[in-house]
Structure 1
Amino acid sequence: MTPPDTRRLEDLAQKYPGTVRPRPLTLWRRRTLIIAFLIAFLAAAQALGLAPGAFFSGLSDLGIITRQMWPPTSKGFFVEYLHALAETVAIAFLGTIAASIISVPLGFLGARNVVRNGFIHFGLRRALDIVRGVDVLIWALIFVSVVGLGPFAGILAIALNDTGVLAKLYAEAVENADRRAGDGVRAAGGGQADVARLAIWPQVFPVFLSNSLYFFEANTRSATILGVVGAGGIGFFLADRIRVNAWSDVAFIILMILPTVALIDWLSRYLRRKALGRAARDPAPVAET
């Protein structure tokens, strides 16, 4: 007599062929992909000199550095570190604000339901691809050469890099807006600008705000390393202390950075929940026809 589990498996195999028991061709295709992935991984590890032995042998050096970090000390530079940390937060904030403001019109221009000109849409999207394809550290190096050392280069680097990403996210949010609200505005005699202002903007503003807050949260972390390339902030002191093996100072700077980033993360999440929660409670009204 066939066990119930076996009968159930046979019934599922007949009802959903190729799912419970993959076809031989599908099975061999999966095995081929797995083997190809393993070969590619091993080849890349060999080419890049990935050596687990070197990692485990370096753990002793890591232990020495960890012991040198205790006790953390500022050595009289606490005020300078605090000023540099505030500068880092300001770089992230101003860079995010600038990118958000620039990305709003770019997001509407990049949305197919707002601008139907294919040439404009394609050109803008490719330009944004180029901007966000360059890492923020590379932009920081470029702007340090253009405007000199200091936080202004960091602000420009964050603003430009974030514009490439935020404008794309904003455009997708505009394209996903409920079309019925726009139809109601058009039926009442409104033009395309009225549709964008009265129908689309109330729907997408909470999404815009949520994305901008998330980027501010992420930029606070990334802005800490912009000082390594001369773009201002706490990263300058961090790189300098590491360079001279002053590990107790490094530990003190890290202990200053961690609670600051955690506080901004918490505040950003709180504001995002508020924005998205209000949008869910107060959806954009649809004009009656």
Structure 2
Amino acid sequence: MEPQDQEQLRQRYPHIFDRPLAARLATPLVLVLALAIFIFGLVDLDISPSRMLAGLNQLGWIALLMLPPDPGASLPVYLKALGETLSIAVLGTTIAAICALPVSLLAARNVIPSAIVRFPVRRAFDTIRGVDTLIWALVWINVVGLGPFAGVLAIAVSDFGALGKLFSEALETADRKQVEGVRASGGSALHEIRFGLLPQVLPVIAGQVLYFIESNTRSATIIGIVGAGGIGLQLAEQIRVLEWQKVSFLILMILIAVAAIDWISSKLRFAIIGPRAVA
């Protein structure tokens, strides 16, 4: 670059060439602060290389004890428990989606212009999804007792907040032209929602629900460990008694189930939404 060209650029964009000292020091200061927080976390949590090496050694020993995976005589029990886990995930997600869809209309800006109505609904979604599924499981176990019913309620409540937010955002991104067309033809507000908004967002909503079913299969396993039924309960019991071959078999069953659900949901999303959305 010629010197005169560089000088012209400097005069045209002085804020780039002549940045203040505070702006130049901001990035290195942030990096130093992040490094200091990282080191403080290692020291405060007593994370040391010796402990990590000892842990890896113990992990390798447990991995050897897991081979080969062997269910023993408990295969029928494990298959039933896996079925419970899948049922918890599907039922919980379905209940959450059915309840979240109508409520999400109240949180969508293009459906409810008034912030007086939208604000509390949105904050309710934030509050509900701010509590982890595991915490909801502990709550419902104390309410309805141990078993799959508590797991279904935990996933349904947790996903109600998450799906409600996602559904409302999908509604807000819908094209207004179809809604205006319904209105121009004499349709009511309900007709605008039914024939103008929902046909646009239902494929997106279906894809989100399918993804949550896949994700909740793993969540149902975790909440089963605290007593919400399913294969997680069996996994916790076998870990407690150090039956590592059965533990590895249960983990293998979970991995196969999650992979199968992922494959099925991908095919369904491809059929519902189209190839571009699942690429």
TM-score, scaled to structure 1: 0.89
1:258 corresponds, among 255, 258, 267, to 255
Task: Give the aligned residue type for 2:92.
Answer: G
CA contact (8 A) 1:203 1:279 kept: no
Q: Does 1:233 align with 2:233?
A: no
Give the superposition deviation at 1:18: 6.0
Mean Cα deviation higher: 169-178 or 43-52: 43-52
Q: Any stretches of 5+ residues in structure 2 without a counterpart?
A: none
2:60 corresponds, among 63, 71, 85, to 63
**Distance in 2, Cα, partners of 1:115 & 1:83:** 45
Cα distance change on mapping 1:179 and 1:25 into 2, 3 Å: same
Cα distance change on mapping 1:61 and 1:8 into 2, 3 Å: farther
Cα distance change on mapping 1:7 and 1:57 into 2, 3 Å: farther
Task: Give the aligned residue type for 1:193.
Answer: L
Q: Does 1:182 align with 2:179?
A: yes
**Distance in 1, Cα, partners of 2:101 & 2:19:** 48
2:101 corresponds, among 99, 104, 112, to 104
Aligned to 2:122: 125
**Distance in 2, Cα, partners of 1:12 & 1:60:** 60
- Of all paired residues, the percent bearing the same amino acid is 46
Cα distance change on mapping 1:18 and 1:216 into 2, 3 Å: farther
**Distance in 2, Cα, partners of 1:252 & 1:8:** 69
Aligned to 1:41: 38
Matches within 5 A, 1:19-38: 24-38=21-35
Q: Secondary structure at the match of 1:212?
A: helix
Aligned to 2:150: 153
Give the superposition deviation at 1:275: 1.8
TM-score, scaled to structure 2: 0.92
Cα distance change on mapping 1:6 and 1:60 into 2, 3 Å: farther
**Distance in 2, Cα, partners of 1:152 & 1:274:** 32
2:200 corresponds, among 197, 203, 219, to 203
**Distance in 1, Cα, partners of 2:151 & 2:2:** 63
Task: Give the aligned residue type for 1:172.
Answer: E
Cα distance change on mapping 1:11 and 1:97 into 2, 3 Å: farther
Q: Any stretches of 5+ residues in structure 1 without a counterpart?
A: 281-289
Give the superposition deviation at 1:64: 1.1
CA contact (8 A) 1:144 1:230 kept: yes
Cα distance change on mapping 1:117 and 1:63 into 2, 3 Å: same
CA contact (8 A) 1:107 1:167 kept: yes
Aligned to 1:93: 90
**Distance in 1, Cα, partners of 2:70 & 2:144:** 34
Aligned to 2:134: 137
**Distance in 1, Cα, partners of 2:66 & 2:276:** 47
CA contact (8 A) 1:206 1:279 kept: no
RMSD: 2.4
Task: Give the aligned residue type for 1:202.
Answer: P
CA contact (8 A) 1:185 1:199 kept: yes
**Distance in 2, Cα, partners of 1:178 & 1:188:** 17
Give the superposition deviation at 1:252: 0.9
**Distance in 1, Cα, partners of 2:53 & 2:210:** 40
Aligned length: 277
Give the superposition deviation at 1:227: 1.3
**Distance in 2, Cα, partners of 1:202 & 1:15:** 50
Cα distance change on mapping 1:98 and 1:245 into 2, 3 Å: same
Q: Secondary structure at the match of 1:114?
A: coil
Deviations 1:24-58 (A, max 9, x none): 43221111111111112222222222223201122
CA contact (8 A) 1:84 1:233 kept: yes
Give the superposition deviation at 1:20: 8.5
